[in-house]
Amino acid sequence: MRYLKGFYMSLGMFSGIPLPFHVWDEKYVPIMVASLPMVGLTIGLIWWLAGVLVIALEIPLMIGAAILTLAPFFIAGFIHLDGYMDTSDALLSCRSFEERQRILKDPLVGSFAVVMLGILFLAQFAAMYTIAEQGQYLALVISVSVVSRCCSAFSIYVLRHSHQSNYTSMMSQNISVSNKLFVLTIAFVAARFSYLYAGGLGSAVVVAVILGYVLAMRRVYKSFDGISGDLLGYSMVIGELFGLLAFAILHNTGWWV
């Protein structure tokens, strides 16, 4: 029962899926973090089903691609997109460390956030258009969603937390070895599924998600001297974009055949 409660808490905090009631108990927070990949699985399954419907209903390709571009952000309740925008504003300001920290917490939307949001949507739309046009291996979006959240869970476990972030510090407390092993197991299962489902293409997509996440986290970790919820969201969005771009480009070229 405690694992179900931890998953329910994770679903309520890290997604926009409507839930019948609110549950919060701090003793289940470690399970809540370990359940992040399962939230990714839930979001990924809905994302995939949306793609199946778009193809089955023969929705015009450009409209279908727009739906699939926006779907993961809607399902996640825009929580990670918010972190992406806040981090972009602070990171691209090229200000002092203290000023970057201030901008990161500023509720106002700056010009860099708007520009980076436009770049993100343009790139993700191009990727989803290509993927929807091919109409194959669409279930790889499930792996993209799961693996990016495995990366976030492990970042919470192993990286130093920003002194301004009580949120992530709280989530890193009392983490057991079994929680870490669970996240690693889910990551392995997602990678294995991707390979069995799409061969080299599936493996390349998983690697691209991890690579994108690591590159993004490496940059923000140095810039902000630790991690926070916003930085996790930023890295997750970048990781998923890398995975989708790899999916679109490599599938289109047919290199794995």
Q: What pLDDT, on the 0 to 100 scale, is given for residue 254?
A: 67
- 137 torsion bin: left (phi>0), alpha (psi -120 to 50), beta (else): left
Render pLDDT for 5-49 as a digit per residue (tens, 0 to 9).
888 888 888 888 888 878 777 778 888 888 999 999 999 999 999
Domains of the chain, residue spans? 34-253
The residue among 195, 194, 185, 191 whose CA lies nearest residue 154 is: 185
pLDDT digits (tens, 9 = 90+) for 52-104: 999 999 999 999 999 999 999 999 998 899 889 989 888 888 777 777 778 77
* pTM of the predicted model as reported, rounded to 2 decimal places: 0.92
Provide the Cα torsion 159, 165, 167, 170; round to 10°: 60
Residues 117, 234: contact at Cβ < 8 Å? no
Average pLDDT on 105-124 reads: 88
pLDDT at 208 over 60: yes
Q: Is the pLDDT of residue 232 over 70?
A: yes
pLDDT attached to residue 158: 86
- DSSP letters spanning 131-157: HHHH---TTHHHHHHHHHHHHHHHHHH
pLDDT at position 223, please? 85
Provide the pLDDT for residue 67.
96
